[in-house]
Chain A
Amino acid sequence: MKTVKILCVCGSGTVSSSMVAQKIKDALAQYGYDVHCVECSPNSAETALAAGGFSLMACVSPVYQDFDVPKVNAVGMLTGLAEQQVVDDCLAILNAE
């Protein structure tokens, strides 16, 4: 298992990001990734990223600012319409590391 850090971003930094974090953890574990998720709100993304070591940001709220860390739109995890797409987007970033 390769350990990776993902920042999960939602409006209040709690409810929907926790939902997405859990699902991303479970999904990526099947691909050999031990995911450590940190949750935050869009306003605190910069502060959270300052801790360093994040492979990507999984967002359920739009994050307009660009950081060095790539973003994945993770709303599809909640609707079930694009779960695999979200997983594939994450994998594309993680596998390229």
Chain B
Amino acid sequence: MKAVHRELILFDVDAENAEDAIRQIGAPLLEHGYVRDTFIDAVIQREKEYPTGLQLRTMGVAMPHTFGVHVIAPAVCVAKLAHPVEFRHMGEGDVRVSAEILFMMAISDPKKQLETLSNMMGVFVNDEAMIEFANARGTQELFEAARRYIG
């Protein structure tokens, strides 16, 4: 089951802060019917309580997500930001992460989408893959990297 879709690949997103980034990146998920209209607010709320920033070996990223009840069809939205935005680190709320790439996860049932989650985790620890994401020069290259590594 493919989680990456061309219309969910965003390049050069100019966001003021984490909330703004989540709103901009959530918009195509909503527009194309992957999530319910409660999704974006739910992600913002959840990010405040349980942040999803991750400082990887290669760069800072974030994987904003929320409960499956807000999701219609599972998908991963990949967004490269025009400039890094500060997220709080997962599990350690007082640590800040300068996130350069966001992977917004619309997961309806983790048990059924385990392959996507497992691929996603593989990407985070794969320096080569992350550098390919970071070096993508446009939507097409970002899409190709996402399709190859996330599926």
Q: Chain A: residues with CB nearer than 8 A to chain B?
A: 10-12, 14-19, 22-23, 39, 42, 59-62, 73-75, 77-81, 83
Contacts and interface: CB of A to CB of B under 8 A. Distances in A.
A83 B126 CA distance: 13
B90 A15 contact: no
A61 B91 contact: yes
B128 interface: no
A78 B76 CA distance: 17
| Interface residues on chain B, size class | 20 to 34
A17 B65 CA distance: 12
Nearest to A77: B121
Contact of B107 (A14, A75, A81): A14
Contacts of A17: 110
Given A14-B110, A39-B110, 17 more contacts: A11-B46, A12-B67, A15-B105, A15-B110, A16-B65, A16-B90, A42-B50, A60-B90, A60-B91, A73-B91, A79-B55, A79-B125, A80-B56, A80-B57, A80-B125, A81-B55, A81-B57
